[in-house]
Structures are given as structure tokens and as C-alpha cells.
Amino acid sequence: MIAQATNSSEGLAQKLSDSGLRATPQRELVYRSLLQQRDHPTAEEVFARVKTEMPTISLATVYNCLETLVQCRLIRQVNHERSSTRYCPNLRPHAHFHDEQTGEIHDVDLPAPFLDQLKSMLPTNFHASAVEITFLGKSEKNS
């Protein structure tokens, strides 16, 4: 766990500087916040969370940091219909399950061969660089 957190920070600084960007306290905090509570928060939710630790941070900065992290491929955006963009630090290939009752989003791992199969279904003149899969439905709480 500690090792992982350390790796995360190093990974952050590394990936940022790869893009010629700085590892600022704000960027580190926003990133740590996402890793800590992996529940696909909106920018406003991230803002509320990080403000407890850094009360002077602004919403604009949270938007900036999130965009930067997305561009460095440290996190991903998750959109559904036209509601607020949510953010996800899970970089493995996975789908999202939207619980229509609770509004919660759950990650669903998908086997890589399956994704290849999916891409192979495209007509030959289409070349997909990415596939997004979203399930809608309800999930039972289980013990």
C-alpha cells in the first residue's frame, strides 16, 4: 500500500515532466484524492474533497488539474448522457456500469480478447483507437 502510494506520486511527477509539466501541490492533491476514493467523482466533488486539505484551491484549478491528468493519461473521463463529467483513475481496460437507481458507477473488467473481437466486428474501412462500453441497469446489494 505504501509502496503503491509512493509509486503513484513518482508516476505522477514522471508522467507530468514527460509532458514538460510540473508536479504542483494542487495536481498531486487532486490525483491523490482520486486514488483514495475511487468512486468516479465530478469536478465539484473533487473540489469539495480537496478543499478540506487545501482551502485556497479554486474550482478552476481543479478543472485544470483534472484536464492535465487526463492529457497525461493518468486518469480517464467518464461521461453519461449530459450530466457532469466524472473522473476515474482506473487505467485498465474496463467498462462502466451505471446503476439507474442510485446513480452509482461501477467498473467492470473485460477480457482483452473480447475487446479485440469487438474491434474486429467493424467494417474494414473503420479503424478504432478506443472502444467505450457502458451498461445501464440496476445492481443488487449483496452481502
Partner DNA sequence: TCCAAGTTTAGAACAATTCCAATTCGCATC
Partner DNA sequence: GATGCGAATTGGAATTGTTCTAAACTTGGA
Q: Name residues whose C-beta falls within 8 Å of residue 130's C-beta, 6 or more positions apart in sequence.
A: none
The Cα 84–Cα 82 span in angstroms is 7
Of 12-20, 32-40, 45-53, 112-120, which segment contacts a copy of itself by CB under 8 A?
112-120
Contact between 120 and a copy of itself per CB under 8 A: no
Does position 94 interact with a copy of itself (CB under 8 A)? The reply is no
Give the Cα separation of 143 and 140 in Å (integer).
Answer: 10
What would you report as the CA-atom Rg of the chain, rounded to the nearest whole angstrom? 17
Residue 110 sits in the site that holds a copy of itself (CB under 8 A): yes
**4-63 positions binding a copy of itself, by CB under 8 A:** none
Options 9, 64, 85, 90; binder of a copy of itself; rule CB under 8 A: 85
Spatial separation of the C-alpha atoms in residues 17 and 118, rounded to whole Å: 35
78 φ/ψ angles, rounded to the nearest 5 degrees: -130, 120
Q: Work out which of 1, 20, 81, 103 binds a copy of itself, going by CB under 8 A.
A: 81
Q: At 89, list the grid cell.
A: 483513475
141: nearest Cα among 108, 106, 110: 106
Instruction: Candidates 61, 69, 78, 105: give the one binding DNA (CB under 7 A).
Output: 61
Residues that bind a copy of itself (CB under 8 A): 77, 79-82, 85, 97, 100, 106, 108, 110-111, 114, 118-119, 121-123, 125-142
Residues that bind DNA (CB under 7 A): 16, 20-22, 24-27, 42-44, 54, 56-61, 63-65, 67-68, 82-85
